[in-house]
Structures are given as structure tokens and as C-alpha cells.
Copies of this chain bind each other. A is one copy, B any other.
Amino acid sequence: MTTTDSGVRNGVDTTTLFATLDAVKEAPAAAQFKFRARNHWIAGTHSRTTIHDFFGVGEERQHEKATFHDIDHPRVLVGNDNAPTPVEYVLHALAGCLTAGLANIAAARGIELYEVSSTVEGDIDLNGILGLDPEVRNGYQAIRVNFEVRGDAPPEKLAALVEQSRARSAVFDILTGSVPVTIGVTTE
């Protein structure tokens, strides 16, 4: 990775970005993070998540402010449509992850971005989660991402930003790989 710039580009402070990389090279344990979401049920398919605390760079930390995120099913899926569905938040996470990476990589490569937008679409057959067809998986069968990227570089260099972001994306890896998930229950 090369840079032609040591200041702020695309809203990315590249000096801090490279200093962070150097710091983690010196102390790899700083890169161990734990992220958390705390959810409580409201009614029916409606619940609310608080995102605030996390662990990283060796200590417990907090986002500057706690944020609250509702989730529900639409009426056609027997919800009250108070908020997006869980599976839509998954697409949102993928878009945001690829876009953040793209901006960082562009800044590191000295490319100024003018505009980045993306649409993420996922196909799901609800015969799976409804338990009506054991051959159908519960989750997405396929996800398609379409980026529009404009910036001061030739098309192949702009497209290469997306490819490098994909190669370093946490959410892309989570969706295309497999994460061990354990679930515990307390009932009193």
C-alpha cells in the first residue's frame, strides 16, 4: 500500500491511520476487540438494541454516545413494521463495512473520492424459517452488492478499491465464512 499524502483525504486522517497500523504492529494484542449489542424485547417481533460499550486496545471503552436500534417484522410477516427486519440490518452492515474500507484504502492510495453509493440485495425463501420446506435454508440464498464509485482515478483503480475493501472486510468474511455462535439461557 502506498500513499501520496500524509494528511486528511476523503475525511480519513491518513497520518493517524498509518500510526495506528504501526502501533498495532508493535503491540498486536491491542487489536483484540470485543463488540456487544444489548437487546430487550418490546412486544411481538419488535425489540430494541442498545450499542454502547466495547473492549479494545487493552481496555473497556464506550462509544461517545449510546445508540438505540429498533427491529421488527413488516405486517406481511405478522409484525407491526416499527423498524427494519433483522436481515435488512445484515445488508446495511455489509454496505457500511465495504464503504468504510473503500474510503480508507482510497485515502491510503492517494485517491480522492467524489461519491460512493451502493445497493445491497438479498434473496430469501421464507419457506425455510416458516418450517414449511426442510430443503430450504433459513438465511439468504444469495446477496448482491452494486457499487457506484466516482473519484479522481481511472475506472480500473476505482474498481480495485472495491476489490481490496472486499478482501479486508470483516462483514464480508462473516457472511461468506462461518462464525461459531454459542447461545446460553437464564430463566430466572
Q: Which residues of A contact B (CB under 8 A)?
A: 1, 10-13, 16-17, 20-21, 24-25, 28, 31-47, 49, 51, 54, 56-57, 61, 63-64, 67, 69, 71-81, 83-104, 113, 115-133, 137-150, 155, 158-159, 162, 166, 168-188
Q: Determine whether the beta carbon of B51 is less than 8 Å from that of A138.
A: no
Q: Determine whether the beta carbon of A31 is less than 8 Å from that of B130.
A: yes
List B contacts of A184 (CB < 8 A): 144-147
Q: List 7 A-B contacts (CB under 8 A).
A: A32-B123, A35-B124, A40-B117, A94-B181, A147-B183, A150-B188, A175-B178
List B contacts of A123 (CB < 8 A): 32-34
Nearest opposing residue in chain B for A174, CB measure: B139
- CB of A91, distance to nearest CB on chain B (Å): 4
